[in-house]
Amino acid sequence: MTKKIAVLPGDGIGPEVTAEAGKVLECLRREFGLDVETEQAPVGGTAYDAHRHPLPDVTLKLAREADAVLLGAVGGPRWDALPMAVRPEKGLLGLRAGLGLFANLRPAILYPQLASASSLRPEVVAGLDILIVRELTGDIYFGEPRGTRTLEKGERQAYNTMVYSEHEIARVARVAFDAARRRGRKVCSVDKANVLEATVLWREVVTHVAREYPDVELSHMYVDNAAMQLVRAPKQFDVIVTGNMFGDILSDEASMLTGSIGMLPSASLDARNKGMYEPIHGSAPDIAGKGVANPLATILSAAMMLRYTLGAAPLADRVERAVSTVLDQGLRTADIHTEGTKRVGTREMGDAVVAALAAQAK
Ligand SMILES: NC(=O)C1=CN([C@@H]2O[C@H](COP(=O)(O)OP(=O)(O)OC[C@H]3O[C@@H](n4cnc5c(N)ncnc54)[C@H](O)[C@@H]3O)[C@@H](O)[C@H]2O)C=CC1
Ligand SMILES: CC(C)CC(=O)C(=O)O
Ligand SMILES: [Mg+2]
C-alpha cells in the first residue's frame, strides 16, 4: 500500500534541504519502485505567519495521519520576539509531544572521506560511530511550572522545571539498550546526578533497566565530563543515552567530529517506530536563501525514515551509499569543504546524490 509522508519544510534553510531530500525520494520512486506519496504542510515561523500558530491543526492532523514525517527546521530572528507559546520552536516541540516521539536517535558517524573536515585530528575520529539516544518529550523543555514572575521589589525572575518520571526514563533506556544490542553492546548514560534530583532518578532507573540486558555493558558519566570526553576520545562511546537538554547539546558537539552539523540526521520515534525524521541542525538564518546549506543531514534523515518506518532498509543502504559516492567524487558544500575538494551548493549536492542513486539502478 502507498505510504504517506508528511513533508514539513519549516523555516530558513529548512525548505532548501527538504527539497533535496524530496528529490531523493522521487528518484527512489522512479528507479526503485518505492511506493510513497508526499504532502506538504507549514510548521514554525512560516506557519505562524499564515495561521497565527507554529503548529496549525491541519499540520498536526497531516502528521498524525501520515506514515512518517520529514521535517526541515524551524525558527529564525524574525520570530524571536514572539511570546514563547507561539514561537516557531513550540511548533516542533508540539509535534514531538503530539506524536509521542520520545526517542530521538542521532547517529554521529564519520564518513572516512570527511576525516580532514572534522574539527579533531583524523586519528582521533577515524572510524567514529556513536549513537546518541536523546529523550525527546520530557525534561526541562516540557516541565511545569515554567514562566516569568515579578518579585516584590519589582525584579523579574524566570524559571523552568527539569522533570522526569520513571516510565519516561525506562522506555528511552530500553530503546538505547536495544540499539546497543545491534551494535557495540555498550551504553553510557549521561546525567548530572551529583547535582540534580531528576537525574538521580534517571541514573537509578537506567541501572534498573540494565538488568534486562546482561549482555550490554552500562556505564554512567556526568554531562560535563561527557562533553569533554567527546572531544578527548570520542571512540570510547558506542551508545549514549541521555535526557532532552543534554542530548540536544551533546549531539551538536558530536556533529562537529563528523565534519559538520550539516551531516547529522535524526529519527524521532514513538513506541511503534512511527517517526519524524529531521536533520539535527536548525534553520541556519546566517546562510538561509544563499543556496549553500548542506542537504546531506536531511537526505540521511530520509534514509533513516526508509530504514525505521518504511521497512525499506535496502533503499536506505542505497541512499547512504550514494552519499558516500558523492563524497568520493570530491563534492563538498561549504561547511565540509577542504583543500583539494570541489565546493558545490545545496542543489548541486542534492542532484549529485540523485545521480549516484540513479546510477545504482543501471
Ligand atoms: N530542529 C530545529 O528545527 C532547530 C531549530 N533551531 C532554530 O534555528 C535557528 C538558528 O539556530 P542556531 O543556534 O543558529 O543553530 P543552527 O543549527 O541553525 O546553526 C548553527 C550554525 O551551523 C550552521 N549550519 C546549520 N545547518 C547547516 C547546514 N545544513 N549546512 C551548513 N551549515 C549549517 C549555521 O549556518 C550556523 O552557523 C533558531 O531559531 C533556533 O531556535 C535550532 C536547532 C534545531
Ligand atoms: C526547538 C529545539 C529544542 C530544537 C533543537 O535544538 C533540537 O531538537 O536539536
Ligand atoms: Mg539542537
* Ligand 2 atom closest to residue 248's alpha carbon, by position in its atom list: 9
pLDDT at position 151 is 97
Last residue in a domain, options 269, 300, 335: 269
Q: Name residue 346's amino acid.
A: T
Taking only the tens place, the pLDDT of each residue in 111-148 is 999 999 999 999 999 999 999 999 999 999 999 999 99
pLDDT at 164: 98
Given 240, 269, 298, the domain boundary residue is: 269
Residue 261 belongs to a domain: yes
Atom nearest to 334 CA in ligand 1: 31
Q: Are residues 125 and 209 in the same domain?
A: yes
User: In a 3-state reduction of DSSP, which class is residue 285?
Assistant: coil
Complex ipTM more than 0.85, yes or no: yes
Residue-wise burial string across 204-243, b where 16 or more C-beta atoms lie within 10 A, e elsewhere = ebbeebbeebeebebebbbbeebbebbeeebeebbbbbbb
Q: Is 89 in the pocket of ligand 1 (CB under 6 A)?
A: yes
Percent of the chain with pLDDT over 70: 100
The ligand 2 atom at the shortest distance from the C-alpha of residue 93 is 1
Q: Which residue reads 502528521 in cell numbers?
A: 63
User: What is the model's pLDDT at position 260?
Assistant: 97
CB of 261 shorter than 6 A to ligand 1: yes
* Residues within 5 A (CB) of ion ligand 3: 248
- Residue 95's domain is classified under what CATH number? 3.40.718.10
Do 94 and 122 share a domain, yes or no?
Answer: no
**Looking up cell 549529485, which residue turns up?**
352
Alpha helix stretches (DSSP H) within the chain: 14-32, 45-51, 57-65, 88-98, 122-125, 166-181, 197-210, 223-232, 244-257, 296-308, 313-328, 346-360
Predicted local confidence at residue 273, as pLDDT = 84
Backbone angles phi, psi at 264, to 5 degrees: -100, 115
Whether 328 is catalytic is no
pLDDT digits (tens, 9 = 90+) for 236-245: 999 999 999 9
**pLDDT (0 to 100) of residue 362:** 85
Residue 277 in any domain: the answer is: no
| Residues at CB less than 6 angstroms from ligand 2 | 89, 92, 141, 248, 280
286 in ligand 1 pocket by Cβ < 6 Å? yes
149 annotated to bind ligand: no
Position 275 in a domain: no
**Are 277 and 69 contacting, i.e. CB atoms less than 8 angstroms apart?**
yes
Q: Are residues 113 and 48 in the same domain?
A: no
Together in a domain, 241 and 300: no
Q: Are residues 294 and 327 in the same domain?
A: yes
280 part of a folded domain: no
In 182-310, which ranges are continuous DSSP H helix?
197-210, 223-232, 244-257, 296-308
Average pLDDT over residues 98-108: 98
Host domain of residue 326 = 1-102+288-362
User: Is residue 253 located within the same domain as residue 306?
Assistant: no
Q: Are residues 90 and 228 in the same domain?
A: no
What pLDDT is stored for residue 301 in this prediction?
98
Total domains in the fold of the chain: 2
Tell me, what's the pLDDT at 230?
Answer: 98
Q: What is the pLDDT of residues 59-81, one digit of tens each?
A: 999 999 999 999 999 999 999 99
Segment 143-193, tens digit of pLDDT: 999 999 999 999 999 999 999 999 999 999 999 999 999 999 999 999 999
**Domain endpoint, select from 269, 298, 316:** 269
Report, as an integer, the average pLDDT of 3-11: 98
What percent of the chain has a predicted confidence (pLDDT) above 90?
A: 99
pLDDT of res. 256: 97
